[in-house]
């Protein structure tokens, strides 16, 4: 037992403190807590801060239906080269530092909870949650638009995932104010699931249209400006013979001179969605603009062809060159952005920093969310501190697994 101001208090170790912190971080990061680990934990060993790893998206190939009218020629093999799509995810780290004296003087659980866990751990949690949202929210291939707020804010997103033939458990992230309005209007429409409620605590509204609905105050807001422009440039890709154009090179950025800002939405005439099974659908593919003119990787094939493991297609007569987008939002309107995705759409992997000589380190994890707590001194600067570190990497490898809904305020 330790004594503080004449009162006996329970001592607790760095490990116990780390457990309290990782619990707070996990509880306050609803967006990342059900992310999918793309890399087995043992393969994350040796991964370093600032490094990258690559996720490869499988290629559904090109299927066909033949009948007796095609004769024996219809049965001849039509071999496609496997075209896996690489997606690179970068290693980051969330950090919060505190003086060692301040850390260690809090030797009873309640004071540590109040002065470290409820303040610094909460700040750390919300910081990495915001980074995860900011870096992935615009990864989407479809957008729904809602004027008057109703349950379409959720239903459109789930329907969009059906259009893309995306399977898996679904979750919708929505601003708490929108959630409160929806609950007031239609709370009886939500199904309650105790397991999900336990996972998301008071942020869980319920389940509607096959998706769990969770409130998240960090969801973005977009102010529309129809004067902004977006242009993409298409470069031809030919088949193995070089005689026939079958599609276009992948596009990951708008053409220089485009004035679109983060969160702007555009359509391009004739651009349609290819679902995750490789089927060319009649659903519009929507271009959502990210940071610095980036867009989710756009891989376009021509109608009836198979090129670059396509996620979009255009009519056979489409020529290469510049294609101008049509602004899809209403000028001057303010929109709350809602995301519906499969839980596995978000890749979230934890890696590990090494031990530092002369310091004590404790690592704790909950369902893939990890924290390392270092405690030690710096002789060179005659200082001592504690570092709370959350090493992580996150991304959305396939934009078709996410649908955005823009709700007018």
Helices and strands (H, E) in the chain, number of each type: 9, 29
Q: What is the DSSP string of 197-249?
A: HHHHGGGEEEEETTEEEEE-TT--EEE--TT---EEEE-EEE-TTSSSEEEE-
Euclidean distance between CA atoms 131 and 137, whole angstroms: 10
> In the prediction, which pLDDT does 7 show?
39
Measured in whole angstroms, the distance separating CA 285 from the mean position of its chain's CA atoms is: 19
> In the prediction, which pLDDT does 301 show?
96
Q: At what angle do helices 14-27 and 122-136 cross, to 10 degrees?
A: 40
Contact 313, 172 (CB under 8 A): no
Closest by Cα among 136, 396, 138, 152 to 265: 138
Per the DSSP assignment, residues forming a β-bridge with 90 are 52
pTM > 0.75: yes
Backbone phi and psi for residue 236, each to the nearest 5 degrees, phi listed first = -65, 145
Cα dihedral 262→407→266→137 (10° resolution): 40
> In the prediction, which pLDDT does 378 show?
65
Taking every pair of Cα atoms in the chain, the longest distance, rounded to a whole number of angstroms, is 95
Euclidean distance between CA atoms 83 and 57, whole angstroms: 9
> In the prediction, which pLDDT does 384 show?
75
Euclidean distance between CA atoms 286 and 272, whole angstroms: 8
Contact 93, 353 (CB under 8 A): yes
> In the prediction, which pLDDT does 113 show?
82
Q: Within 10 A of 127 (CB to CB), how many other CB atoms are there? A: 16
Euclidean distance between CA atoms 350 and 17, whole angstroms: 20
Output the tens digit of pLDDT for each of the chain's 409 residues: 444 444 333 446 888 888 989 999 999 999 998 788 776 566 556 566 666 667 666 665 565 565 666 566 655 655 566 566 676 777 788 988 887 776 776 566 777 888 888 888 999 999 999 999 999 999 999 999 988 888 888 889 999 999 999 999 999 999 999 888 887 666 556 666 665 555 666 677 788 888 889 999 999 999 999 999 999 999 999 988 888 999 999 999 999 999 999 999 999 999 999 999 999 999 999 999 999 999 999 999 999 998 988 999 999 999 999 999 999 999 999 999 999 999 889 988 888 888 877 788 999 999 889 999 988 876 555 567 888 899 888 899 999 999 999 999 9
């Amino acid at each position: 037992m330790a004594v503080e101001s004449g009162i006996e208090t329970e001592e607790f170790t760095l490990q116990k403190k780390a457990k309290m912190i990782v619990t707070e971080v996990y509880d306050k990061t609803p967006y990342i807590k059900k992310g999918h680990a793309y890399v087995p934990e043992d393969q994350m060993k040796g991964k370093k801060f600032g490094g990258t790893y690559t996720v490869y998206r499988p290629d559904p190939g090109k299927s066909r239906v033949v009948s007796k009218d095609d004769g024996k020629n219809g049965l001849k093999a039509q071999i496609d080269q496997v075209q896996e799509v690489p997606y690179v995810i970068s290693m980051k780290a969330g950090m919060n530092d505190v003086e060692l004296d301040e850390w260690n003087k809090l030797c009873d659980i309640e004071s540590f909870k109040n002065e470290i866990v409820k303040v610094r751990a909460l700040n750390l949690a919300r910081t990495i949650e915001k980074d995860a949202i900011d870096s992935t929210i615009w990864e989407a291939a479809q957008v729904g638009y809602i004027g008057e707020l109703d349950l379409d804010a959720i239903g459109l997103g789930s329907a969009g995932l059906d259009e893309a033939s995306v399977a898996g458990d679904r979750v919708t992230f929505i601003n708490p104010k929108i959630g409160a309005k929806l609950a007031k209007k239609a709370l009886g429409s939500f199904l309650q699931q105790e397991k999900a409620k336990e996972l998301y605590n008071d942020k869980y509204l319920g389940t509607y249209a096959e998706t769990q609905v969770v409130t998240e105050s960090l969801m973005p807001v977009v102010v529309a400006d129809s004067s902004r422009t977006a242009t993409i440039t298409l470069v031809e890709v030919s088949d193995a013979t070089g005689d026939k154009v079958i599609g276009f090179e992948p596009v990951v950025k708008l053409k220089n001179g485009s004035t679109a800002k983060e969160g702007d939405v555009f359509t391009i005439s004739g651009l349609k969605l290819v679902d995750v099974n490789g089927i060319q659908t009649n659903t519009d593919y929507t271009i959502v603009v990210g940071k610095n003119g980036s867009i989710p990787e756009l891989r376009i094939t021509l109608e009836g062809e198979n090129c670059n493991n396509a996620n979009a297609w255009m009519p056979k007569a489409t020529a290469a060159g510049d294609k101008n987008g049509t602004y899809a939002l209403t000028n001057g309107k303010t929109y709350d952005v809602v995301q519906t995705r499969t839980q596995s759409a978000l890749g979230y992997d934890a890696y590990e920093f090494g031990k530092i000589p002369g310091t004590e380190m404790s690592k704790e994890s909950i369902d893939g969310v990890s924290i390392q707590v270092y405690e030690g001194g710096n002789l060179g600067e005659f200082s001592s501190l504690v570092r709370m570190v959350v090493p992580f990497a996150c991304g959305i490898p396939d934009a078709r697994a996410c649908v955005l809904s823009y709700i007018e305020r």
